[in-house]
Structure 1
């Protein structure tokens, strides 16, 4: 690593476990500047929301190489200017409060300390492209705490010392310090490490065995020298919580500890465990799609304000498609289970009226303010670029196959995106998918993209699923937690409430009201407390039962709204067939499609 500017050097230390504090010492070499400007990012790549990480800096001071205090002034919410009259070396010392249990920030408890670089490492405005070095000070920590990060070591002989060629690289390696269990496994030319926080009796070898064919699928799909030689799955285990965030050659995951298989348990794969494997699959696929293949505006993003793109439907959507597909192709789940998961995804999209109001391109652009800041009515106003994006990926795959006489597929497109963009560190444009399909496959997907990506039309699966030997079917809900995905012969819900409610001590509280359905027609609102229907005190179950058996066109419903007792007329309407599932119509076609890479 070479640079005209000497390295920026950091020392990171867990200052207090009980107070959740990181202590950071920073050495800035002489830059021949009368003032040195430092700042902390406002967001982290891969999570498109302003998070203002600098608000967690609780104290900060600066001095020169003669131990003279330097004047330090805050110029905005995340930036400090340091007076440096001698134009020499500057030292900065600060503490960061770390108590956000997520994959996006920093967290310290009695089991471990975890951080992303965007939460703890200041950037020097005058030296963004120089080498950034890190020393992790482990002094005073419990003896069984260990350090793990994907950051390259400074020298093989120097323990706990690391270095990166630029600030953007430096912040892309999360750091774990704590009690954990690890297991390594190799797939092709890549060495993987699975890290699970804590010391629970989880069958880590079994998880690695299941991850092996999934990782192999991704490596085979791109059919090229892997962009990484090692990869680290950092898994923060908790009582509750779920999430994943991709990095250059690692990922940070958050998952419920006892949703993973324990030592000695039967080898069956529960839905929650399959979700974990799909999450790992999703984040590893991001090694190509997002970390290297990316929109042009995110090649060198401004981390201090929103960076807008219409393309997240392609990056998160395509990745969401391949995360479950890889689990199926790897033989971890049955083909029927995979179809069930596809049906659930389709149901999720089709049950939200937001899909008729917002395109996935708009959803991508508005991720900062709408997707990452959802409220109880978001289902009526927005669409998920993850879920609908995944369905679009499936449809594109079928469309490319059909129009190219099965000579090409979405797999082919991913390989071209890697070769032309990711491998060359070039960013994609809004029309790149359309252009690549036309140039390489002689397939025109422009109308499809215009209608389904930039417009609000539903994905036309009724016209495309035959390519994979499948057919599409609809039914009504059988119970309140019914997610679709599979057929049923005895629907039990023939009437639609059009709302999500939660039991309380008396009655139920409305948590969500869906557009144009019964609750909306009755004028009910979020946070209304329903205490009676047709004169009977209700709970969630009885509310549905009374509507089911009613012979009337409407029923009187009694609610409390902001301390006022109100009575409304609740219409009794038939349930919509808005749950979806897929059936195999041609076994050989389906097998050829599912097994294709």
Structure 2
């Protein structure tokens, strides 16, 4: 460019810039309003006196809890009340604020003005007259009455009381420093159990002794008219409620398996971090499902046939081992970034691959060791996970540790293509990675050490301490190295923090098994499909169908995906005949000739489409198959530890 041309170009640019600047100057251009928090940070200092909490839970027809609280006021300090938001065990902001209604705050019988914080909407600023010693709080918690509103936790025959839903607390304190005296009124004839101390029962009212707010929230209640309990030893009780009393008929050998679970767990960890433990188990088709850990109890639901059809629901019996393990892993030992001083402080979930992942490993091991589940069932479940991760496309871009953030932003809602998006894989993929760690320790130590030794060294410390002992990544590595020297930092970082890793099958191979594919589902898949009433064709066509032939999941890049099939579409006909499971199975088998497509008539949004799927791979289900003869290392892992009687 010659000098004259360059000069003209620069002049044109300057002119256009000035025109743009002038035009921009004429537009409105606001500046942000600063966000200034006036909510005090929590401090580890006691509240002046104890709060009182009275819950009336008798309105079961409308599922309304009526709440009354008396909360002391600290002189010279503003009163800000908080509704719990970030809840342990739920791994995200799951506070049920939308169901809190009718909030009234009074002092001396006079209504006080309150305003919701515009940023922290779970906080309420209260105008308190000078000299006020306490305020009276009333509100209703309107529990969901249909599934579209949320989890059902009140039915005519059962309720699950989660105290964080029926209480507020003052800002500025660690929740463990806030004392509270709770009470609850239940429907006539109902029995309620919570891991709270000092219970005094008068008619249908239960009044508990003074406890701290953290312990209260960590001690939920199950209640109902059809109730039975069993002593499992070691100060552990199995409390069971059912929709009907006939579902409470358990055989001695069934209870013996639960008793063995307690024995095996205490042998494994070598300690107890509870003075007593209450399994709260609801056998129900009406109450919403739950499996939630607490330090001295757990909330659990299973179907009504838990005892009465014992031989047909073994795949469902991993829940209690999982939640019981959490008393050690998750409640006593907790990642430092997941322990929070109150329920407004966000949790950082990075180490859920220990908290939930190793728990998912131990629930399978303890299920087998106790006899709640057979070795074949546990191998079937590991086969399911191995097959899933062997063909999961989303692992190319997303690490296991990144999935630990899913409970916060994913909120556990269904995803259009879960195999590509990934979900909370830190549970089951980590289970296979911890299996690899166990088998690596066994190999390097020539069978003298295993992950059992890590469990004792990491979770089994400080017997009888039911506080919280936090840890970080480095402590996990140090403890593993103390059990068996190895580059554990690289092992964990590579497999858990790096995307694009191969499926975690090494532990299976080291343990004496390999992943194979067969036309028939393994014992776990077979029972799971029966229990959930679905037809799982993930590893063939790439779809899962519900009982109505509606597709609920489509595998990314699968034959169905390439045929533009999505979740929500419904199969109307197969090869010209009305849909049936047997008909679709036959069509998939017939297509193995590599000439015949799987021909489907699909309906989606009232539009009908004929779709031919080019697939010839036949039915495919994952199985684990022993590599050689004799007992394997995985067989030894799953063998009972308690002495034979």
TM surpasses 0.5: yes
How far residue 110 of structure 1 moved from its aligned partner, in angstroms, is: 2.1
Residue 490 of structure 1 corresponds to none
Q: Distance in 2 between matches of 1:532 and 1:573?
A: 19
Q: Which runs of 5+ in 2 are unaligned?
A: 1-44, 528-536
How far residue 251 of structure 1 moved from its aligned partner, in angstroms, is: 0.7
How far residue 441 of structure 1 moved from its aligned partner, in angstroms, is: 2.2
CA-atom RMSD in angstroms: 3.5
Residue 169 of structure 2 corresponds to 123
Residue 162 of structure 1 corresponds to 208
Q: How many equivalent pairs are there? A: 571
Residue 458 of structure 2 corresponds to 417
Bigger Rg over Cα: 2
- Look up the SS of the partner of 1:270 in the other structure: helix
Residue 46 of structure 1 corresponds to 89
Residue 530 of structure 2 corresponds to none
Q: Which runs of 5+ in 1 are unaligned?
A: 486-492
How far residue 464 of structure 1 moved from its aligned partner, in angstroms, is: 4.1
Matched, 1:388 2:429: yes
How far residue 366 of structure 1 moved from its aligned partner, in angstroms, is: 2.3
Q: Given that residues 286 and 319 in structure 1 are in contact (C-alpha distance below 8 angstroms), is that contact kept between their aligned partners in structure 2? A: yes
Matched, 1:304 2:351: no
Residue 194 of structure 2 corresponds to 149
Q: Distance in 2 between matches of 1:398 and 1:289?
A: 20
- Look up the SS of the partner of 1:187 in the other structure: coil
- Look up the SS of the partner of 1:260 in the other structure: coil
Residue 33 of structure 2 corresponds to none
Deviates more, 1:284-293 or 1:584-593: 584-593
Cα deviation code 1:350-398 (max 9, x no counterpart):
3543344422211112222237223242133205221112111211111
Q: Given that residues 473 and 580 in structure 1 are in contact (C-alpha distance below 8 angstroms), is that contact kept between their aligned partners in structure 2? A: yes
Aligned residue among 446, 452, 464 for 2:495: 452
TM-score (normalised: structure 1) = 0.85
- Look up the SS of the partner of 2:208 in the other structure: strand
How far residue 294 of structure 1 moved from its aligned partner, in angstroms, is: 0.9
Change (3 A) 1:530 1:324: closer
Q: Given that residues 354 and 382 in structure 1 are in contact (C-alpha distance below 8 angstroms), is that contact kept between their aligned partners in structure 2? A: yes
Q: Distance in 2 between matches of 1:564 and 1:87?
A: 69
Matched, 1:220 2:264: no
Aligned residue among 297, 301, 305 for 1:254: 301
Cα deviation code 1:467-502 (max 9, x no counterpart):
44x2214114337998389xxxxxxx9993222345
Q: Distance in 2 between matches of 1:193 and 1:564?
A: 52
Change (3 A) 1:391 1:436: same
Q: Distance in 1 between matches of 2:51 and 2:538?
A: 66
Change (3 A) 1:593 1:35: closer
Q: Distance in 2 between matches of 1:500 and 1:592?
A: 35
Residue 510 of structure 1 corresponds to 551
Q: Distance in 1 between matches of 2:538 and 2:629?
A: 32
- Look up the SS of the partner of 2:557 in the other structure: coil
Residue 364 of structure 1 corresponds to 404
How far residue 343 of structure 1 moved from its aligned partner, in angstroms, is: 2.2
Alignment of 1:523-562 (within 5 A): 523-531=564-572, 538-550=579-591, 552=595, 554=597, 559-562=602-605
- Look up the SS of the partner of 1:298 in the other structure: coil
Residue 489 of structure 1 corresponds to none
Aligned residue among 325, 329, 341 for 2:369: 329
Deviates more, 1:587-596 or 1:518-527: 587-596
Cα deviation code 1:251-271 (max 9, x no counterpart):
1111111x2223xx8xxx424
- Look up the SS of the partner of 2:228 in the other structure: strand
Change (3 A) 1:434 1:100: farther
Residue 41 of structure 2 corresponds to none
Q: Distance in 2 between matches of 1:404 and 1:306?
A: 41
- Look up the SS of the partner of 2:62 in the other structure: coil
- Look up the SS of the partner of 2:177 in the other structure: coil
Alignment of 1:213-292 (within 5 A): 213-224=260-271, 226-239=272-285, 242-257=289-304, 259-262=305-308, 269-272=310-313, 274-292=314-332
- Look up the SS of the partner of 1:12 in the other structure: strand
Change (3 A) 1:71 1:458: same
Residue 375 of structure 1 corresponds to 415
Aligned residue among 320, 338, 358 for 2:360: 320
Cα deviation code 1:267-313 (max 9, x no counterpart):
xx4241x3454211111111100011111012225533642222112
Matched, 1:520 2:520: no
Cα deviation code 1:4-26 (max 9, x no counterpart):
61111111112522221111111
Q: Distance in 2 between matches of 1:98 and 1:163?
A: 26
Residue 105 of structure 2 corresponds to 62
Q: Given that residues 65 and 142 in structure 2 are in contact (C-alpha distance below 8 angstroms), is that contact kept between their aligned partners in structure 1? A: yes
